[in-house]
């Protein structure tokens, strides 16, 4: 997650003296880079921006974030916030705080945009589903097994599309393409299939696959395989 200073010009990189910010762990896929960050109490980060769009999930502690359009958020635990690329903002951490930073790369932004209207405004995601999806993202990040990357990208796609309206899913019959995916998963003892590969095989969008799989089978793809 590269940072840049604002037009007022100050430092070319963010001031994180000493142990005021530490990276506790990271996970990377073609679409996202996820880092768990620990911020020290009292840290104040002046206005800056990032070259990439980001999602921020607050795990513990709380902090304040203000952005260019005059909005601000008190970022409480279990909330998810979105920052567009280039959005000027500042942060203050009155207490110690632990967050997941999700750097959004072009492949996943493009994939989300193909399915519907993605979030674009800075600030906290107000949809109730964001709380559940954020917790699921953190759970998979902590696992860090061979299947975590698949589910993390699925969660990020749903978060990016959380502001749009979508038709309610009905139980009904399980679609034949979804049954085919289940058979593909059963045939591989050590599956390395990605959402994009499953999408290509059955001709369905990755977001549709993720949502329908959970709806009909009551679990995520990674949970099913485990």
Please give the Cα distance from 36 to 28 (Å, whole number): 12
Q: Are 134 and 29 in contact (CB under 8 A)?
A: no
Question: What is the per-residue pLDDT for 189?
Answer: 55
Look up residue 115 and give its DSSP letter. T
Residue 13 Cα to chain centre, angstroms: 24
Residues facing residue 60 across a β-bridge:
98
Per-residue exposure over 186-222, b if at least 16 CB sit within 10 Å of its own CB, e if not: eeeeebebbbbebbeebebbbbbbbbbbbebeeebbb
Q: Which two tokens stand for residue 68?
A: 């260019």
Q: Give phi and psi for 105, each to the nearest 5.
A: -100, 165
Closest CA to 150 of 54, 30, 25: 30
Question: What is the per-residue pLDDT for 215?
Answer: 81
> H/E element holding 43?
strand 43-50
Please give the Cα distance from 146 to 40 (Å, whole number): 32
Please give the Cα distance from 93 to 197 (Å, whole number): 41
Q: What does each of the 226 residues of the chain score in pLDDT, given as a tens digit?
A: 555 544 333 334 455 667 789 999 999 998 999 999 999 999 998 888 999 999 999 999 999 998 876 667 788 999 999 999 999 999 999 999 999 999 999 999 998 888 778 888 898 998 888 999 999 999 999 988 878 888 899 999 999 987 644 545 555 688 888 888 888 887 765 556 777 788 888 888 887 888 888 888 888 888 888 7
Q: Are 166 and 207 in contact (CB under 8 A)?
A: no
């Amino acid at each position: 997650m590269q940072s840049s200073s604002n037009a007022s010009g100050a430092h070319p990189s963010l001031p994180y003296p000493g142990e005021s910010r530490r990276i506790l762990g990271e996970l990377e896929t073609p679409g996202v880079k996820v880092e768990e960050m620990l911020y020290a109490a009292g840290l104040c980060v002046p206005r800056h921006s990032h070259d990439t769009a980001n999602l921020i999930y607050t795990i513990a502690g709380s902090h304040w974030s203000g952005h260019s359009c005059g909005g601000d958020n008190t970022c409480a635990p279990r909330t998810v916030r979105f920052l567009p690329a280039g959005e000027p903002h500042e942060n203050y951490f009155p207490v110690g705080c632990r967050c997941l930073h999700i750097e959004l790369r072009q492949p996943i932004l493009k994939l989300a945009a193909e399915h519907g209207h993605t979030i674009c405004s800075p600030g906290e995601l107000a949809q109730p589903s964001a709380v559940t999806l954020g917790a699921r993202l953190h759970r998979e990040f902590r696992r860090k097994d061979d299947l975590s990357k698949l589910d993390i990208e699925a969660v990020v796609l749903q978060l990016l599309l959380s502001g749009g309206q979508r038709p309610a899913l009905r139980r009904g019959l399980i679609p034949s393409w979804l049954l085919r995916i289940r058979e593909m998963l059963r045939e591989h003892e050590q599956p390395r299939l990605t959402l994009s590969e499953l999408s290509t095989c059955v001709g369905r969008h990755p977001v549709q696959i993720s949502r329908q799989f959970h709806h009909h089978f009551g679990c995520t793809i990674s949970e099913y395989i485990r």
